[in-house]
């Protein structure tokens, strides 16, 4: 799919005869100027047809007309809803609806005429192109025969000056990152293993010139990563601690670390996940690491100036065997804190504890972790909104803004200091789980115990947002690649203030 911008409007693009499918956005209650212009090209009767088919131009509503022996042979009218309520999210939804309808119509050369939604042209270009690409993504890797139609070859954004090449390149790199994250999350646990995550990091490092360090079990032992290694100890697959670094050319003004939970499978350990706990879906428990690696791929290609980015993943599996962690074991993390493991299914925070201690030893201005950490955040916020915790107002705000610009939603929740009582252990410094109420908050408080207090830190719980059974917005059913756009936008905006 090749995207380009052209100042031509819908009618002149149609008259040029270059494309086969034209999609035009219509507001509800629009005065008819758009339709008249289209009638001038396609012939009279369009308005009557719209009435006949009860087209109301509701958001996402699409009407398709076909002509034989004409170019473009397909006209798609795309509902935009009320003009006053039309925003960036509406623009994305309309672009995705048009793209899906054009795929159904078999179009190969698509022209899209959609309005600005009250934003700068560059922002609109980014939203439209991103929505088209991400909504048409289909993962066929595990089918013996492809079931989907070929994608359009060319997509023209009508009514935009051709000077948006930089924007389109950024969209391309970011979408490639989102797609990488989706592929990693969607692949089953017998394919995406800790080694496969390390191999993915190696491929990014090789293709884009990043620095890569992979710590093996013995290296992690030497660093005293007793919490992380305890989680991995029952698996026949060795743990891989991945540290990928993007060094900008020229002066370094900011340094940040992105830390992702990388459980390639979470059985729950001896606190085994039972029926109804979605054990068969726990391939997506590496969603945080997928977002971090997807962002690494995009950042490596976009090469933002002045910011050094460390991508860190303590990858492993949470399994059972004669060597497994027992519920009740006491382990020691690499900062010396002892943890009574009162629940082996709260394993993500154990791996993140050592990953955060490792990150905090680097020279940094901020650290952000992403994790499919708790079922409780899914209950609290559902599948469209991720939880955000941070002691820093400015970091929290910057991440919410970066998310909004990329079409990803976060809701900030409190680091209620008194709830740390729930993590007190009679025998160790901490236990790894507290009471069920406020379970996502105590999980965040647990992580905070492993972060240098002088460092700006944010924790993003993406357990609800990494997967969508039915698909939503720009996300086809399955893995969403959630987090990549937020991280890329945040890093490109310069990171911490
Ligand atoms: N990976 C899970 C969290 C999860 C649950 C992600 C459902 C996506 C959907 C995590 O390791 C876990 O098992 N958390 C437990 C913690 C509990 C034992 C305190 C949970 O949320 O039930
Ligand atoms: Mn678990
Ligand atoms: Zn888990």
State yes or no: pLDDT of 18 exceeds 90: no
Catalytic residue status for 349:
yes
Q: What is the pLDDT of residue 428?
A: 98
Active site residue 70: no
Residue 183: strand, helix, or coil: helix
Cα of 277 vs centre of ligand 1, distance in Å, is: 9
Average pLDDT, integer, range 198-219: 98
pLDDT of residue 88: 93
For ligand 1, atom 16, which residue shows the shortest CA distance?
Answer: 346
What atom in ligand 1 is closest to the CA of residue 434? 19
**What is the spatial distance between Cα 114 and Cα 199, in angstroms, rounded to a whole number?**
41
Report the C-alpha gap between 265 and 194 in whole angstroms: 9
**Helical H segments across 105-164, by residue range:** 121-136
Contacts of 443 by beta carbon, 8 Å cutoff, 6+ apart: 346, 349, 373, 374, 376, 461
Ligand 2 mean position to 382 CA, how many Å?
A: 18
pLDDT at 237 over 80: yes
| Under 8 Å between Cβ of 358 and 223 | yes
Residue 414, number of CB atoms within 10 A of its CB: 11
Looking at the CA of residue 376, tell me the nearest atom of ligand 1: 21
- Ligand 1 centroid–CA 463 distance in Å is 8
Among 2-6, 35-39, 155-159, 493-497, the least confident range: 493-497
Ligand 1 centroid to 372 CA: how many Å? 7
H or E segment to which residue 266 belongs: strand 254-266
| Residue linked to tokens 């059972």 | 320
Which atom belonging to ligand 1 lies closest to the Cα atom of 277?
A: 7
Whole-number average pLDDT of the chain? 96
- The answer to whether 192 and 264 are in contact (CB under 8 A) is yes
**How does pLDDT run across 318-361, given as a tens digit for each residue?**
999 999 999 999 999 999 999 999 999 999 999 999 999 999 99
Residue whose CA lies nearest to ligand 1 atom number 3: 374
Pocket test for ligand 1, best of 287, 341, 345 (most atoms within 8 A of CB): 345
- The Cα–Cα gap between 136 and 65 comes to 21
* Dihedral of alpha carbons 82, 84, 87, 91, sign: positive
Secondary structure class of 89 (helix, strand, coil) = helix
Spatial contact of 130 and 116, defined as CB atoms under 8 Å apart = no
- Measured between alpha carbons, how far is residue 339 from residues 1, 131, 429 in Å? 51, 44, 6
Q: Which of 261, 283, 297, 349 is catalytic?
A: 349
Q: Which residue has a Cα nearest atom 14 of ligand 1? A: 374
Catalytic residue among 273, 337, 404, 412: 273
Output the CA torsion 381→384→390→396 (10° steps). -130
For residue 463, the ligand closest to its alpha carbon is 1
Of 153 and 43, more confident: 153
Q: What share of the chain has pLDDT > 90, as a percent? A: 93
Residue 497: pLDDT over 80: no
**Residues with Cβ–ion distance below 5 A, ligand 3:** 263, 266, 285, 348
- Of 318, 339, 374, 467, the one to substitute when testing ligand 1's pocket (max ligand atoms within 8 A of C-beta) is 374
Work out the pLDDT band at 113, boundaries 50, 70, 90: very high
Residue range 299-310: average pLDDT? 98
For residue 343, the ligand closest to its alpha carbon is: 1
Closest C-alpha among 170, 172, 132 to residue 152: 132
Residue 303 CB coordination number (10 Å): 12
Inter-residue contact 408 to 482 (CB < 8 Å): yes
List of domains in the chain: 2-162 (3.40.220.10), 172-492 (3.40.630.10)
pTM, 2 dp: 0.97
Pocket of ligand 1 (CB under 6 A): 266, 278, 285, 343, 345-348, 372-376, 378, 433, 439, 463
State residue 156's pLDDT score. 97
């Amino acid at each position: 799919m090749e995207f380009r911008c052209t100042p031509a409007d819908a009618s002149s693009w149609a008259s040029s005869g270059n494309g086969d499918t034209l999609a035009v956005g219509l507001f509800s209650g629009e005065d008819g100027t758009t339709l008249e212009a289209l009638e001038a090209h396609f012939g009279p009767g369009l308005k009557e047809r719209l009435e006949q088919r009860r087209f109301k131009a509701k958001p996402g509503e699409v009407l398709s007309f076909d002509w034989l022996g004409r170019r473009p042979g397909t006209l798609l009218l795309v509902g935009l809803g009320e003009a006053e309520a039309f925003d960036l999210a509406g623009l994305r939804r309309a672009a995705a609806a048009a793209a899906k309808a054009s795929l159904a119509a078999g179009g190969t050369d698509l022209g899209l005429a959609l309005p600005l939604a009250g934003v700068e042209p560059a922002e609109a270009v980014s939203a439209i192109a991103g929505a088209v690409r991400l909504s048409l993504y289909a993962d066929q890797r595990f089918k013996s025969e492809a079931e989907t139609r070929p994608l359009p070859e060319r997509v023209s954004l009508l009514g935009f000056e051709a000077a948006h090449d930089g924007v389109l390149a950024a969209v391309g790199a970011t979408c490639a990152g989102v797609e990488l994250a989706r592929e990693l999350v969607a692949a089953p646990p017998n394919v995406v293993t800790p080694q496969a995550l390390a191999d993915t990091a190696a491929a990014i490092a090789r293709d884009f010139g990043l620095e890569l360090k992979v710590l093996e079990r013995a290296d992690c032992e030497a660093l005293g990563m007793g919490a992380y290694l305890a989680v991995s100890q029952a698996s026949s697959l060795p743990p891989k601690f991945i540290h990928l670094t993007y060094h900008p050319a020229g002066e370094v003004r900011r340094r940040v670390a992105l830390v992702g939970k990388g459980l390639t499978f979470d059985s729950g350990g001896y606190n085994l996940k039972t029926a109804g706990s979605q054990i068969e879906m726990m391939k997506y428990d590496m969603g945080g690491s997928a977002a971090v690696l997807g962002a690494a791929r995009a950042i490596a290609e976009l090469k933002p100036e002045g910011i050094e980015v460390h991508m860190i993943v303590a990858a492993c599996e949470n399994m059972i065997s004669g060597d497994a962690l027992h519920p009740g074991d006491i382990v020691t993390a690499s900062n010396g804190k002892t943890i009574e493991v009162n629940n082996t299914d709260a394993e993500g925070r154990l791996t993140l504890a050592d990953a955060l201690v490792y990150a905090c030893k680097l020279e940094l201005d901020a650290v952000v972790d992403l994790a499919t950490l708790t079922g409780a955040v899914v209950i609290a916020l559902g599948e469209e909104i991720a939880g955000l915790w941070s002691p820093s107002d400015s970091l929290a705000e910057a991440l919410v803004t970066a998310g909004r610009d990329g079409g990803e939603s976060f809701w900030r929740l409190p680091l209620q200091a008194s709830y740390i009582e729930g993590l007190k252990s009679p025998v160790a410094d901490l236990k790894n789980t507290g009471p069920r109420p406020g379970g996502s908050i105590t999980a965040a408080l647990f992580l905070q115990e492993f972060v240098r207090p002088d460092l700006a830190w944010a924790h993003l719980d993406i357990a609800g947002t990494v997967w969508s059974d039915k698909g939503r917005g720009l996300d086809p059913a399955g893995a969403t690649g959630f987090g990549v756009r937020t991280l890329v936008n945040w890093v490109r905006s310069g990171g911490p203030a």
